[in-house]
Amino acid sequence: MKFANNIISIFFFLGSTFFLFSCKKEEGNNIIAITSSEKIKIDSTEKYKEPFRPQFHFSPEKKWMNDPNGMVYYKGIYHLFYQYYPDDIVWGPMHWGHATSTDLIHWTHKKIALFPDKLGMIFSGSAVVDIDNTSGLGTKENPPMIAVFTYHDMAGEKGGRTDYQTQGLSYSLDEGETWLKYEKNPIVKNSGVKDFRDPKVFWNNETKLWNMVLVAGDHAQFYTSENLINWKFESQFGENIGAHGGVWECPDIFKLKVANSNEEKWVLLISINPGAPNGGSGTQYFIGDFDGKSFKTTQKDIKWIDNGADNYAGVTYNNTPDNKRIFIGWMSNWSYARDTPTKNWRSAMTLPRELSLEKINNNYVLKNSPVEPFKKQLVSEFSKDILPIKPNQKVTFTYENFNQSEVKFKASSKNLKLVFSNEVNDSLVLNYDAVQKNFSIDRRHSGIVNFEKSFGEKIHNTKIPNITTETIDYQIVIDWSSIEIFLNGGVYSFTEQIFPSKPYTKLSIQSDEKLEIKNVTIHRIKGIW
């Protein structure tokens, strides 16, 4: 038993595990110390404990990963495929990696699903279960799982051709374990369009047809099919609307009910690189109507699903229970994705998020927040109301590892500054300017930032006019190398990578106004590996 600073700690060994039990204590009026009760493994060679390795986000076992692909639910299993290069931690000839989950939180790594072949590398795409065997590639008793993806012919690209991307098909008769390429690939040829890729396929229950949306340069194209093999071009969208600072990628389209109404609208996701609001890669969305052949919208402004720098190429699951719309994005940015300071592996996915649609100020807003099963990973460490904070007063929480935690609270809709820091003076600063309706993230001094110029070059600012409430709900989720922030249940979200030299151990909250903060909770987040 150890006594220090009036904190009582009891520790002992059992096998290879070190157990620590501590109590909580307040030190003065402005500093709150929080210690946890948890098991700490002492084996430094344990898998998934490399520097910056996410502890509750999906990351590949080893080597390079980018876009999520082929997200489909079947017989209680969520399948996640992804762009994968098994030979290096930088981008290379693309394969489809594969993982499965029963809860979207805990993942099992599977063998590589799709390999490059004579038609090219395997770029992004989607997967469906052909329940009625419309393709004829399985049976009604054993319906095939179908993957539709982009072939990228590198030799054709280097040779100056523009038709080097086509759409291919592969199918599985054992629920995604093994895959066979369709013998007559490609199923959609290219008439000479550069950047012709990333097909999202789904069954349209209203038209009783398969739909496909893919991107062709700076716009989207829509197709229909009766059998997933023979496709008919129907329309295109986007040449004169939306953000066009870079190539369009990774489309998705789905219908959502508008909260507190009987209205339903279609949502079209389009990723773009470069051209995002905080530099590099980002994902925009459009709200409109879709009749199975063409998409139309009256939307004039550009909307982003996430306003941080590190949420790209996100798409949603097909065939989910209760028709929930579950989104996962690649938690990186092409501006520096190849340079981040990790070894053995590179890149992670965002937390899976449930999407919903709400009307605020007569404006359609696509909300996103962590899926319900995430709550099971939370272990309560601290809960308290702090009333009020005086102007320029600073309240500081000390905790052994904010880099595996969730921080939640409700605050007056007033100026607010949050600073996460550690003993080596790394600091991550979040700031809300109530007058300007601006939320900012400053990671310039957050840890290791010099691996690429744009990573720590500037403060990321976002106007947030859809925050209209008198109080704001803050949810902040931090892993070993990321932060995800959700305001008012995901009216705005922000995803950013961070690489602190050591875990953040302090959180300070302050304002230049009198500020009420209620329902402060801090949770430790259990690891998934």
The 17-22 sheet, strands edge to edge:
2-4, 7-14, 17-22, 38-41
Report phi then psi at 473, rounded to 5: -90, 120
- Quick check: 513 and 459 in contact, CB under 8 A? no
Q: Among residues 282, 256, 280, which one has the least CA distance to residue 268?
A: 256
Contacts of residue 501, Cβ cutoff 8 Å, sequence gap at least 6: 422, 424, 426, 447, 448
What sign results for the dihedral spanned by CA atoms 295, 296, 299, 300? positive
Q: Among residues 96, 198, 207, 103, which one has the least CA distance to residue 149?
A: 198
Measured distance CA(263)–CA(261) in Å, rounded: 5
Catalytic residue selected from 43, 67, 103, 473: 67
Measured distance CA(292)–CA(308) in Å, rounded: 32
Q: Which two tokens stand for residue 120?
A: 């090219």
- Can 67 be counted among the known catalytic residues? yes
Measured distance CA(275)–CA(263) in Å, rounded: 32
Q: Among residues 169, 361, 167, 202, which one has the least CA distance to residue 290?
A: 202
Which residue is it, tokens 């059992």? Answer: 14
- Quick check: 97 and 49 in contact, CB under 8 A? no
Measured distance CA(184)–CA(211) in Å, rounded: 20
Strand partners, 83: 96
- Quick check: 313 and 332 in contact, CB under 8 A? no
CA dihedral 305, 311, 314, 319 (to 10 degrees): -80
- Quick check: 137 and 170 in contact, CB under 8 A? no
- In three state form, how does the secondary structure of 451-520 look? CCCCCCCCCEEEECCCCCCCEEEEEEEEECCEEEEEECCCCEEEEEECCCCCCCCEEEEECCCCEEEEEE
- Quick check: 305 and 314 in contact, CB under 8 A? yes
Amino acid at 351: L
The residues annotated with a catalytic role in the active site are: 67
